[in-house]
Amino acid sequence: MSSSSELSWFKSSYSGTQGDNCIEVAIAREAIHIRDSKDTTRPAFSVAPQAWAQFVEHTATS
């Protein structure tokens, strides 16, 4: 698995400038990594690409 420092993290373009309640995502071949943008020293968690796709599809239709 890639280390957190080797990943290219990004926030959604919908994230506000206030810095509250945002996540950052890094896409790797083996997993999608998610972390709290307010405290990047905390551990990230990872999900399978298929699980992330299902999550995005669900939230887009909600």
Pairing of strands 23-27, 45-47: unpaired
Q: Where are the beta strands (DSSP E) in 1-62?
A: 10-11, 23-27, 32-36, 45-47
Query: Model pTM?
Result: 0.75
- In terms of Cα–Cα distance, which of 26, 22, 4 is closest to 13? 22
pLDDT per position in the chain (62 positions), as tens? 555 568 999 987 767 666 567 889 999 999 999 998 888 899 999 999 999 999 999 988 87
